[in-house]
Chains A and B, each alone.
Chain A
Amino acid sequence: MRLIKANKVYIIMILSYLLLETLNRLGILNSYLLQIIMLAGINIIMTISLNLVNGFTGQFSIGHAGFMGVGAYSSAVVTTVFFHTSSWPVYFQVPIFLVSLIVGGMVAGLIGFLIGLPSLRLKGDYLAIVTLGFGELLRASIRLIDYVGGPRGLAGIPKYTNLFWVFLFTILSIYAARNFVNSSFGRACISIRENEVASEAMGIDTTKYKIISFTFASFMAGVAGGLFGHLLMFLQPDTFSFLKSIDYLVFLYAGGMSSISGSILGAGILTAVPEFLRFLANWRIVIYGVLLVLLMLKQPEGFYGGKEFGFLKIVRQDKKVRTEKAS
């Protein structure tokens, strides 16, 4: 019983995965619903990574989809163009897919690092414009590379992304973000957001930590991009325009800044809502817009701003121990 209690969260996660998988296998979950669930997972990874930069570090980046695009293309190039995995024995295909996701993350992370180096000196709206510019630059550059199909896009990507991989990578991202925030890296980033001058005066190399958080977020976006490409099986550069970056900003604000739980809720709910509003036909986007406006007016801190689910909190020493130490 105690074992169950201590590992409650893991058990709930595994059970909910098994439930979804069973529904899927039994054919109750149609492919349309399954697709939405998987997109929600990918969007959760994207929103959490954006939260690290915009929420926790307090830097305003609006080009996040660019990194997703870089990751999606890099990863698809590994499986589709470079290895032609579909002609390989089945048991080789999945490992190559996993490697391709990491490659996607690393390429996106590297580009994030190179872009962050000069841009993160800027603050606020100036940084926003520069990240917007770089995001569009990435998309436009992909259009110029004939090797990956240029503006026509890259087709024939094998469908490796399934419920299991999305579930696994979403959970990994959630934990990675939680551990990042609850370490000296996270505290340094939050202190930069709170007061950059004071942060520097406390010996914190603010440029270094801004770049670390930006690079880490780009890496996560790259992995999400890899999952995305192997889900849609077709990539087109214009998918990753600034409109997509804006989507993630909306998910982030609706969920609540600086809350990992908020990002989960924001991306999860807002991916699903427009789909469930389809019966409204042309009124769908109007209603979606109205709902967003109402949310921001009634609850500007978002679904879960400033709060975290229990399992995302880390209590290092319980209060009793602390008070004993203090007294």
Chain B
Amino acid sequence: MALLDVANVSIQFGGLKAVSDFNLALEQGELVAIIGPNGAGKTTAFNMITGLYKPTTGDIRLNGESLVGLRPNEFTARGIARTFQNIRLFNEMTVLDNLKAALTLQAKYSLREALLRTRKFLKIEDEIEDRAIEILKILRLDAKIDILAKNLPYGEQRRLEIARALATNPRILLLDEPVAGMNPNEIEEIIRLIAEIRESFKLTILLIEHHMNVVMTIADRIKVLDFGQTIAEGAPDEIQNNPKVIEAYLGRRGRK
């Protein structure tokens, strides 16, 4: 059985069918990329898989358990974490506190214990801080611990988004355009980081990306969307030569 099974999912906004009959079976450890022109419904599909939108029809199952109708935080608690295309950090919080906020699920103490700062509270807080620093180290942000998130350079903000998602201890990580707006050096670093965290956290990754080099390098499998429909699916080299994909991106050759 697949780890994540998205079956015949569709969503309609008013008269617009943004995504129709989306199917996806993610196996443990896979890295799958979703590509497609702007407005193809990639982020909408992401929003359904993370609970932000409720699909009009279809089912989303994680290890056989249906998630449709749950709130986004419940999706995360069950092991699906994400980053955002338009960065959504906690700007006025420090890098460390961004991570600690994402570790809230691990803070298993009561309000009373927090107000009295009991020994148990202090112990858990220490564990949270250690865990946060550990993750920041992997994402090479440990030197920036006390900086406000909004004051980080762009590339580091993207990395902090990934770090924060990892802090929720996910089994599946969804990355929405992780290299958008980055320079070639930064892109190379992110590719390396994704490979590294995939290995060390035993992650299954689903990513949206426009940058073809990145997709072709790291994806095991690619899914192509256009106007909400899946138009192709397969290994990177199959996709590269698929005439339907070329048409979606470049348009049909005109006739003389």
The interface of chain A, by Cβ under 8 A from chain B, is 176, 179-180, 183-185, 187-188, 190-191, 194-195, 197-206, 212, 216, 316-317, 319, 322, 325-327
> Across the two chains, which residue of chain B brings its CB closest to A177?
B115
Q: Is the CB of B88 within 8 A of A316?
A: no
| A175 shortest CB reach to chain B, Å | 8
**Interface residues in B19-49 (C-beta closer than 8 Å to A):** none
| Complex interface: chain A residues within 8 A of B137 (CB) | 326
A to B CB contacts below 8 Å, 17 in the list: A179-B115, A179-B117, A188-B104, A190-B92, A191-B104, A197-B52, A198-B90, A201-B50, A201-B76, A202-B165, A203-B73, A204-B105, A206-B73, A317-B126, A325-B130, A325-B133, A326-B142
Cβ of B97 within 8 Å of any chain A Cβ, yes or no, is yes
**Interface residues in B187-209 (C-beta closer than 8 Å to A):** none
Tell me the interface secondary structure of chain A in the complex. Answer: helix
Q: Is the CB of A200 within 8 A of B125?
A: no
Q: Is the CB of A184 within 8 A of B114?
A: yes
Q: Is the CB of A200 within 8 A of B130?
A: no
Cβ of B216 within 8 Å of any chain A Cβ, yes or no, is no
Q: A198-B89, A201-B82 are in contact. Are A190 and B101 (CB under 8 A)?
A: yes
Tell me the interface secondary structure of chain B in the complex. Answer: helix
> Across the two chains, which residue of chain A brings its CB closest to B79?
A203
Q: Is the CB of A201 within 8 A of B81?
A: yes
| Complex interface: chain A residues within 8 A of B145 (CB) | 322, 326
> Across the two chains, which residue of chain A brings its CB closest to B50?
A201
Q: Is the CB of B100 within 8 A of A179?
A: no
Q: Is the CB of A200 within 8 A of B73?
A: yes
Q: Is the CB of B76 within 8 A of A190?
A: no
Q: Is the CB of A183 within 8 A of B88?
A: no
Cβ of B129 within 8 Å of any chain A Cβ, yes or no, is yes
| B175 shortest CB reach to chain A, Å | 13
Interface string of B92-113 (1 = CB under 8 A from A): 1100010011111101010100
| A195 shortest CB reach to chain B, Å | 5
Q: Is the CB of B76 within 8 A of A322?
A: no
Q: Is the CB of B114 within 8 A of A195?
A: no
| B67 shortest CB reach to chain A, Å | 14
Say which residue of A183, A194, A203, A319 sits within 8 Å of B102 (CB atoms).
A203
CA of A176 to CA of B50 in the docked complex: distance in angstroms?
35
| A313 shortest CB reach to chain B, Å | 12
Cβ of B178 within 8 Å of any chain A Cβ, yes or no, is no
Interface string of B218-235 (1 = CB under 8 A from A): 000000000000000000
| A-B residue pair count with CB separations less than 8 angstroms | 117
> Across the two chains, which residue of chain A brings its CB closest to B142?
A326
Say which residue of B102, B125, B129, B133 sits within 8 Å of A202 (CB atoms).
B102
Q: Is the CB of B114 within 8 A of A191?
A: no
| Complex interface: chain B residues within 8 A of A316 (CB) | 125-126, 129
| Complex interface: chain B residues within 8 A of A327 (CB) | 142
CA of A105 to CA of B116 in the docked complex: distance in angstroms?
18
| Complex interface: chain B residues within 8 A of A317 (CB) | 126, 129
| Complex interface: chain A residues within 8 A of B121 (CB) | 183
**Interface residues in B146-190 (C-beta closer than 8 Å to A):** 146, 164-165, 167-168
> Across the two chains, which residue of chain B brings its CB closest to A200?
B72
CA of A190 to CA of B164 in the docked complex: distance in angstroms?
15
Q: Is the CB of A326 within 8 A of B90?
A: no
Q: Is the CB of B88 within 8 A of A197?
A: yes
| A312 shortest CB reach to chain B, Å | 14
CA of A195 to CA of B146 in the docked complex: distance in angstroms?
19
| A236 shortest CB reach to chain B, Å | 33
Cβ of B17 within 8 Å of any chain A Cβ, yes or no, is no
| Complex interface: chain A residues within 8 A of B129 (CB) | 316-317
CA of A183 to CA of B52 in the docked complex: distance in angstroms?
27
Q: Is the CB of B93 within 8 A of A191?
A: yes
Q: Is the CB of B104 within 8 A of A184?
A: yes
CA of A195 to CA of B167 in the docked complex: distance in angstroms?
17
> Across the two chains, which residue of chain B brings its CB closest to A208?
B73
Say which residue of B73, B91, B109, B128 sits within 8 Å of A204 (CB atoms).
B73
Say which residue of A204, A319, A326 sits within 8 Å of B101 (CB atoms).
A204
Q: Is the CB of A187 within 8 A of B133?
A: no
| Complex interface: chain A residues within 8 A of B130 (CB) | 325
Q: Name 18 extra pairs, CB < 8 A, besides A187-B104, A203-B73.
A: A185-B114, A191-B104, A194-B93, A198-B164, A200-B76, A201-B50, A201-B82, A201-B84, A202-B81, A202-B101, A202-B102, A202-B164, A203-B104, A204-B104, A212-B111, A316-B126, A319-B146, A327-B142
